[in-house]
């Protein structure tokens, strides 16, 4: 069955996009690059992806051990570099970040044990490629260890849930030690110490294999076929920033990217890189995908790294009324409004990106968004808004009937 899935993916890559649009292509970036004259592409690319510190974004060369895995296992591998200005008093603080996007490995009707094991085996060479590339902080996609069963109306998918120190964490801890790598593992969590409730959780594993802490998804959608609000509630872990060996990071899980206040507080707590593991589909969000994450990076002067799964997930039976076509397109936004191109719409992929964290403070100083933010005005207005007797500030034209 895995072979069949791979064949379908290869077919889609060149002929049909996931959403049934009329022309096949691997990413918007390549579609433009392959079809525009070079000087037109250069200008379009300048407008669409910004310019990192006034220059086109550089690609970086990865070791042959990393690229060989990409060739052998057929996943997209791209690598870029964000620069910052040189400072007099601080050395550059360059961190190498990796993002993994992937489809599931077996049909959703296979035995649960086999499904999870097959996903582990599918991501193993991608993690090895990240490790060989010298990635410092690696993030997997939302609920990477299972299909998106939480969008159906069938609670059997709760069986995939694990405690924070469960088998997915143990699987990744060995890689964290082997490659001296911080790994963010977004899972479906069962909280054994609090009545066995379910959470949507990211586990942060330190570069020595230790569990630094967790963050639970702050905002849960109530939308269309996405039934996940019946599986778990809004997170109770606040907006933690994890101080790791390679920088201060935070995790804004999926739907949280639609909430500018969520993104704001991670920034006020000191995060310099936000990881945004996501599962989202074309009809819903593809037009938003290049907007919200870049806005968060700009407004909060930090890097924002978004991951979306790929492939189609089918849930036979009456538990859902549609297939889910995930569009991948993982990418990273920088505080200077530049961004990397997206990974493939269709294929598994690893995005490796060097980022100088000094760019964050440089843009805080340049733009002064925090200094000019008038938080006292908004804290007061929000507190007033919350009261049932709140009356909006409306000035009515007295000449209206």
- Beta-sheet pairing, 76-82 with 349-356: parallel
- Regarding 321 and contact with a copy of itself (CB under 8 A), the answer is no
**Among the listed residues 308, 338, 344, 353, the single contact to a copy of itself using CB under 8 A:** 338
Concerning whether 217 is annotated as a catalytic residue, the answer is yes
Q: How far apart are CA 97 and CA 181, in angstroms?
A: 10
- Beta-sheet pairing, 303-308 with 331-333: antiparallel
**Among the listed residues 73, 93, 248, 364, the single contact to a copy of itself using CB under 8 A:** 248
Segment contacting a copy of itself (CB under 8 A): 100-108, 142-150, 253-261, 347-355?
Answer: 253-261
Binding residues for a copy of itself restricted to 110-129, rule: CB under 8 A: none
Backbone angles phi, psi at 224, to 5 degrees: 40, -125
- Regarding 21 and contact with a copy of itself (CB under 8 A), the answer is yes
**Among the listed residues 79, 161, 183, 220, the single contact to a copy of itself using CB under 8 A:** 220
Q: How far apart are CA 210 and CA 177, in angstroms?
A: 9
Within 13 Å, how many C-alpha atoms sit on residue 286's CB side? 18
Q: Name the catalytic one among 116, 122, 162, 217.
A: 217
Concerning whether 254 is annotated as a catalytic residue, the answer is yes
Q: DSSP per residue over 59-100, as a string?
A: E----HHHHHHHHHHT-EEEEEEE-----SSS---EEEEEEE
Does residue 153 contact residue 230 with C-beta atoms inside 8 Å?
A: yes
| 190 three-state secondary structure | strand
Sign of CA dihedral 218, 221, 226, 231: positive
- Regarding 58 and contact with a copy of itself (CB under 8 A), the answer is no
**Among the listed residues 286, 312, 319, 364, the single contact to a copy of itself using CB under 8 A:** 286
Sign of CA dihedral 116, 77, 100, 18: negative
Q: How far apart are CA 228 and CA 137, in angstroms?
A: 28
- Regarding 151 and contact with a copy of itself (CB under 8 A), the answer is no
- Regarding 374 and contact with a copy of itself (CB under 8 A), the answer is yes
Binding residues for a copy of itself restricted to 182-201, rule: CB under 8 A: none
- Regarding 158 and contact with a copy of itself (CB under 8 A), the answer is no
Segment contacting a copy of itself (CB under 8 A): 70-78, 153-161, 191-199, 265-273?
Answer: 265-273
**Among the listed residues 110, 158, 245, 319, the single contact to a copy of itself using CB under 8 A:** 245
Binding residues for a copy of itself restricted to 222-241, rule: CB under 8 A: 222-224, 234, 238-241
Q: Which is nearer to a copy of itself, 8 or 33 (CB)?
A: 33
Does residue 207 contact residue 246 with C-beta atoms inside 8 Å?
A: yes
- Regarding 60 and contact with a copy of itself (CB under 8 A), the answer is no
Q: How many residues bind a copy of itself (CB under 8 A)?
A: 97
- Regarding 16 and contact with a copy of itself (CB under 8 A), the answer is no
* Catalytic residue ranges: 142, 217, 254
């Amino acid at each position: 069955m895995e072979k069949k899935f791979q064949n379908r993916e290869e077919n889609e890559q060149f002929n049909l996009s996931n959403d049934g649009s009329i022309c096949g292509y691997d990413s918007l970036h390549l579609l433009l690059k392959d079809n525009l004259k070079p000087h037109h592409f250069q200008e379009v690319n300048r407008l669409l992806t910004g310019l990192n510190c006034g220059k086109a974004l550089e690609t970086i060369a990865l070791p042959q051990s990393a690229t060989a895995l990409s060739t052998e296992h057929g996943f997209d591998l791209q690598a870029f570099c964000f620069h910052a200005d040189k400072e007099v008093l601080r050395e550059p603080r360059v961190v190498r970040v990796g993002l993994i996007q992937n489809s599931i490995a077996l049909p959703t009707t296979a035995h649960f044990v086999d499904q999870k094991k097959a996903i582990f085996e599918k991501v193993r060479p991608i993690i090895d490629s990240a490790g060989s590339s010298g990635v410092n902080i690696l993030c997997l996609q939302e609920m990477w260890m299972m299909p998106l069963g939480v969008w159906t109306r069938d609670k059997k998918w709760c069986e995939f849930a694990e405690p924070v120190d469960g088998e997915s964490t143990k699987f990744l801890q060995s890689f964290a030690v082997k490659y001296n790598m911080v790994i963010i593992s977004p899972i479906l969590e069962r909280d054994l110490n609090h009545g066995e409730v379910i959470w949507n959780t990211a586990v942060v594993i330190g570069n020595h294999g230790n569990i630094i802490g967790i963050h639970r998804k702050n905002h849960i959608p109530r939308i269309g076929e996405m039934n996940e609000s019946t599986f778990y509630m809004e997170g109770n872990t606040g907006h933690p920033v994890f101080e790791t060996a390679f920088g201060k990071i935070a995790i804004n899980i999926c739907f949280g990217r639609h909430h500018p206040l969520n993104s704001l507080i991670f920034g006020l707590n000191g995060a310099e890189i936000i990881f945004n593991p996501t599962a989202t589909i074309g009809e819903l969000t593809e037009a938003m995908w290049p907007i919200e994450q870049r806005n968060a990076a700009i407004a909060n002067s930090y890097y924002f790294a978004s991951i979306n799964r790929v492939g189609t997930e089918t849930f036979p039976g009456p538990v859902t009324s549609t297939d889910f076509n995930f569009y991948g397109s993982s990418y990273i936004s920088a505080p200077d409004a530049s961004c990397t191109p997206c990974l493939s719409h269709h294929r598994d992929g690893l995005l490796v990106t060097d980022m100088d964290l000094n760019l964050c403070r440089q843009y805080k100083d340049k733009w002064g968004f925090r200094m000019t933010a008038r938080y006292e005005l908004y804290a007061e207005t929000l507190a007033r808004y919350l009261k049932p007797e709140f009356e909006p500030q409306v000035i009515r034209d007295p000449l209206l009937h």
